[in-house]
Amino acid sequence: MPHASRRLFIFAAGAASLSGAFVQRVNAQSAPVRNRAVFQVTDNDPARWNIILNNMQNLREGVGGEPVEIELVAFGPGIFMLKGDSSVKQRIDAALKSGVKINACQNTMSGMKLVPADMLPEISYVPAGVVEVMRKQQQGWAYIRSRAAGESRPTA
Amino acid sequence: MPHASRRLFIFAAGAASLSGAFVQRVNAQSAPVRNRAVFQVTDNDPARWNIILNNMQNLREGVGGEPVEIELVAFGPGIFMLKGDSSVKQRIDAALKSGVKINACQNTMSGMKLVPADMLPEISYVPAGVVEVMRKQQQGWAYIRSRAAGESRPTA
Amino acid sequence: MPHASRRLFIFAAGAASLSGAFVQRVNAQSAPVRNRAVFQVTDNDPARWNIILNNMQNLREGVGGEPVEIELVAFGPGIFMLKGDSSVKQRIDAALKSGVKINACQNTMSGMKLVPADMLPEISYVPAGVVEVMRKQQQGWAYIRSRAAGESRPTA
């Protein structure tokens, strides 16, 4: 849901007298929408990580000059994407520099005995990945699930 | 989000005089949000069922003391998760006891010649799983797709 | 979407005189919702294409007589679904005739050296699939990701 749609600015300025009824129709769909998307990474598959990183880049470029907020949430086996020895660490670094927020799930880290020292620097942490993904959607962020492993082989 | 929800019809009918009145800016983002998430199960893969059940449990625990509504919708081959001989029936029973709503798609059941007597007791039914998933999202529920089969094998 | 966000409490405090005025609480959840769903296709797997086409048909039929808007967005290897030689071209034609909007991602086409002459007639085009999927969600459309390749094999 668009952030802006939740903001209703109702002006009754200068209404010294409003004798006679008025009916104001507010249509939030005409209000500007903030571009916001959360990407969920739950697998340990470098091929898919690259697809997700491509999708995030395409999103950033695809909105033209409009501002866009992009967040990645890694949990379950997806946590390996954010380890210090991740095969995509240079791309993650580039994503961070471009303004993407990259979150590791602390629940998963705890279950896998991982500590921040094991992880890429400059990433962020959330207590539970699935909660973050729910909350972002409920705050109006779009949810993007990239394609499944094995799907990237064109046969035609 | 429902289109219609963005239309606010504000009636101030019969306001003979509104001198001094003001109408407050309403920012729904500062309002409390009900935690609600719908999980879609469309595959017949016990490994993934366990992941989804874990995700639902992590969600329930991850919101701390806040209320949360969780619903699972099984359709297509996912319907097998809810059969009487499901390998995860004890976990489903525990999820039901914790307050999760578990729905089987009647369309799918009909296509697979399944009747309620074939299914786990205490589950619920929806006429069409895909419609339920759409409606829940449009009512403000977050949508969670768990990871694909084959994704759960850490390689690092 | 937050439940509470749909509740607008409009205060007209300090109204020196509100004779006859009333302030109506608007609860958008009781307002009619337009059925709208966007399906993302990002893989080159005819088996999954059929599942997605089934899901779209089940959605269209599952809403009974209510209007429903359905859109499909193909990007990445999913673009092959919309080529002139697509194995599901008759079903896509039927979906188009039923009112589904079918979009090919121009970014992907450009990367794969595809031009409209290579594609099925009557489909539509979007500059970037991932942007379209984000925007539709932010405009209140539900997001449906169909099941992953390999998930459709019932084992029970």
What tokens does B90 get? 């004890």
C23 band by pLDDT with thresholds 50, 70 and 90 = very low
Decide if C58 touches B, using CB distance below 8 A.
Answer: yes
pLDDT at C32: 66
C134 touches A35 (CB < 8 A): yes
C154 touches B81 (CB < 8 A): no
Please return the burial class of C153, using the count of CB atoms within 10 Å of its CB with bins 0-12, 13-18 and 19+.
exposed
3-state secondary structure at position C75: coil
pLDDT at B148: 52
Q: Return the half-sphere exposure (C-beta side, CA atoms, 13 A cut-off) of residue C151.
A: 35
User: Does C2 have pLDDT greater than 70?
Assistant: no
C8 touches B26 (CB < 8 A): yes
pLDDT at B127: 97
Decide if B67 touches A, using CB distance below 8 A.
Answer: no
State the residue for tokens 């002006």. A11
C92 alpha carbon, distance to own chain's centre? 15
Cα of C125 to nearest chain B Cα, Å:
24
Cα dihedral B73/B78/B82/B83 (nearest 10): 150
- CA angle in degrees (0–180, nearest 5) for B99-A126-B74: 35
C146 band by pLDDT with thresholds 50, 70 and 90 = confident
Decide if A22 touches B, using CB distance below 8 A.
Answer: yes
> Each residue of C27-83: pLDDT tens digit?
344 456 799 999 999 989 999 999 999 999 999 999 999 999 999 999 999 999 999
The β-bridge partners of A143 are A38
A149 band by pLDDT with thresholds 50, 70 and 90 = very low
- Signed CA dihedral, A99, C111, C87, C97: sign only: positive
Among chain A residues, CA nearest to B29: A6
Query: If you write DSSP's letter for every residue of B43-57 in order, what string do you get?
Result: ---HHHHHHHHHHHH
Decide if B7 touches A, using CB distance below 8 A.
Answer: yes
Question: Secondary structure of chain A in the HEC alphabet?
Answer: CCCHHHEECCCCCCCCCCCCCCEEEEEHHHCCCCEEEEEEECCCCHHHHHHHHHHHHHHHHHCCCCCEEEEEEECHHHHHHHECCCCCHHHHHHHHHCCCEEEEEHHHHHHCCCCHHHECCCCEEECCHHHHHHHHHHCCCEEECCCCCCCCCCCC
User: Does A70 have pLDDT greater than 90?
Assistant: yes
Residue C66 CB partners (closer than 8 Å, separation 6+): C35
Look at A82-86, A99-103, B3-7, C55-59 and tell me which has the smallest mean pLDDT.
B3-7
pLDDT at C31: 57
Interface test with C, best of A24, A60, A141, A151 (most C CBs within 10 A): A151
Work out the average pLDDT over A61-83: 96
What tokens does A108 get? 């998963």
Q: How many residues does chain B have?
A: 156
Among chain B residues, CA nearest to A138: B142
- Max distance between CA atoms of chain B, in angstroms, equals 73
B7 band by pLDDT with thresholds 50, 70 and 90 = very low
Window A:68-107, CB contacts with B under 8 Å: 76-78, 80, 83, 85, 107
Work out the average pLDDT over A39-52: 93
Work out the average pLDDT over A56-72: 96
3-state secondary structure at position C24: coil
pLDDT at A33: 77
As a whole number, the mean pLDDT across chain B is: 81
pLDDT at A99: 96
What tokens does B87 get? 């390998």
